[in-house]
Amino acid sequence: MSNNKKIILGLLAFAIVFSAPHASQAQETPTTQSAQTVTVEQAPQAPKAPIVIEADNLSFSDETGDIRAEGNVVITNQGQKVEAELINGNAKLSEIWINDEAHFSQPDSNLTGHHTLYNYKLKTGSMENVKGKIGRKYVAGDMINIYPEQYIIDHGSTTNCPAKVPDYHVSADKIEIWPGDQMIAYNAKFWIGNKVIFSLPKYRQSIGKGEESSFPRIGYDSDDGFYIRQRIDYPLNNQLSVYANLDYYSKADFKPNFGLLQRETNYSVGVVQGHFRDGDENWIKKEPEFQFVYHPRRLGHLPVNYSFTANYGKWKDDAITSWHQEYELYFSRDPIKLSDTMSLYLGTGIEHIRESYNDSSQNIYKFDATLTKKWSDRFNTWVGYHYTKNNDTLFEYDSDDLNREFNSGFTYKIDKMNTIGVTRSYDLDQKRVEDLDYTWYRNLHCWEATITYQSKEDRIKFDISTKRW
């Protein structure tokens, strides 16, 4: 077979699967070829990204627009890949269809199913009896509908556990997934093993960075005792939801908080009320607080992101009640790669706080620098410098303890089940060690346990939660 025929076949295959123009100008109809790889890199009508079709046998008709690819078929284009033993398609419909098992993958998903139909022009399709992964979620269902920015699963389930029989999962009549953003499940049931622990008519979960757990989190803290935490998020529509964090502590008692949140593309607004605790076990009650968050955005063409938050509400602790205003603008630079294993992270910002209790107003200036080094797959270290000016705030909750802090630490993976870590905080003004914490991380199949001993406070923390993978 000549190279010229390969180019013609490539153009016709491109037209059939991806609706390229001028396919009807091909000279042979029908044509069959065997054991071949077809590419359109040299064709003048082809896009910059090449279309590649690989199969043991290919046949097509430029009159009807039909294509048939059989035997180890692989179609790739712009990060998308379809694999099957037999694929049929039609240029006039811009579709392919596969009756038997097929594999579909693109950067945010990897799916296997049957009775696949896909339109490459619209980037929409469907698969039956599907299983696979979308983002961090392992999914399965009777059918999945694929859209450019969304997946909809009928009578399906999701989990973050990669085991064949997951320790936990969420099942639902319908599951909508926006990769890296959120998931909404309808008539959702929450399973641990083969037991349903609770169910909700609708459930929303933030996924991607900062993903929330769908399942209870249990642990122990020396100050507040044993605890169990559960977040419930009920969507009113795709953007608006009500939520509750139902936290119970054996010493501090029931400490819930709840709110209403509207999520938009560039920002979020909401109102919250209830009890909140920071990482240093400082408690505050908000009665209520209004919040505005402008999501991180690029600063022009610079390698810098900025974010803005604004909060206003009534704060109470054991001794003080105040109407609290807080505004923060923060800039963070993209990591500076000093080597393949070393990166520098920089950030700076300003925070403005007003309090009605003492009629105070203060500006807090911040600067952060952290250097990370990966010595091996097992051993990681970091050092950081953090500067905060005017950090003497009315409430201890969520405030920076030190004016000038140097921190350092490492993690070492002993084996696939166990990792240890040490973090150290040093007060540069008082010239003393502020915190020295030892942590043991234990892999519990699809869960993770952490035990931390804070030596300066003589405090123990224990926590079990689902892995985020």
What tens digit of pLDDT does each residue of 303-341 get?
999 999 999 999 999 999 999 999 999 999 999 999 999
The predicted pLDDT at position 51 comes to 61
Residue 355: CATH number of its domain: 2.40.160.50
Last residue of a domain, one of 179, 214, 249: 214
The closest of 397, 330, 392 to 367, measured between CA atoms, is 330
Count other Cβ atoms within 10 Å, centred on residue 241. Answer: 22
Least confident of 57-66, 212-221, 225-234, 446-455: 57-66
Are 210 and 278 part of one and the same domain? no
How does pLDDT run across 112-155, given as a tens digit for each residue?
A: 999 999 888 888 999 999 999 998 899 999 999 999 899 999 99
Does any domain span residue 305? yes
Say whether pLDDT at 226 is over 60: yes
Last residue of a domain, one of 214, 235, 253: 214
Does any domain span residue 440? yes
Residue 393 structural domain: 215-466
Are 207 and 250 part of one and the same domain? no
Count other Cβ atoms within 10 Å, centred on residue 461. Answer: 19
Are 226 and 210 part of one and the same domain? no
Does any domain span residue 123? yes
Does any domain span residue 76? no
The predicted pLDDT at position 36 comes to 52
The predicted pLDDT at position 424 comes to 97
Are 273 and 166 part of one and the same domain? no
Strand residues in 43-136 grouped as ranges (E): 52-60, 66-77, 80-90, 95-98, 102-106, 109-119, 124-134
Number of domains in the chain: 3
The closest of 430, 428, 431, 436 to 408, measured between CA atoms, is 436
The predicted pLDDT at position 50 comes to 59
Q: Which residue has the higher pLDDT, 223 or 257?
A: 257
Are 187 and 292 part of one and the same domain? no
Which letter does DSSP use for residue 51 in this model?
Answer: P
Are 41 and 23 part of one and the same domain? yes
Q: How confident is the model at residue 436 (pLDDT cuts 50, 70, 90)?
A: very high
- Give me the phi and psi of 308, to 5 degrees please: -140, 135
Give the Å distances, CA to CA, from 169 to 138, 215, 230, 439. 9, 9, 15, 28
Does any domain span residue 89? no
Are 307 and 422 part of one and the same domain? yes
**3-class state of residue 391 by DSSP:** coil
Are 177 and 257 part of one and the same domain? no
Longest Cα–Cα distance in the chain: 87
Burial of residue 300 (number of CB atoms within 10 Å: 0-12, 13-18, 19+):
exposed
The closest of 269, 268, 270 to 257, measured between CA atoms, is 270
Does any domain span residue 86? no
Say whether pLDDT at 409 is over 80: yes
Query: Which residues touch 398 (CB under 8 Å, ≥6 apart)?
Result: 278, 282, 284
Residue 109: CATH number of its domain: 2.60.450.10
Threshold 0.95, pTM exceeds:
no
Does any domain span residue 88? no
Last residue of a domain, one of 159, 183, 214: 214
Count other Cβ atoms within 10 Å, centred on residue 32. Answer: 11
Does any domain span residue 62? yes
Least confident of 66-70, 265-269, 410-414, 434-438: 66-70
Are 144 and 121 part of one and the same domain? yes
Are 173 and 220 part of one and the same domain? no
User: Which residues make beta-bridge pairs with 35?
Assistant: none
Are 172 and 246 part of one and the same domain? no
Are 398 and 302 part of one and the same domain? yes
Q: How confident is the model at residue 469 (pLDDT cuts 50, 70, 90)?
A: low
Say whether pLDDT at 371 is over 60: yes
Average pLDDT of the residues of the chain: 87
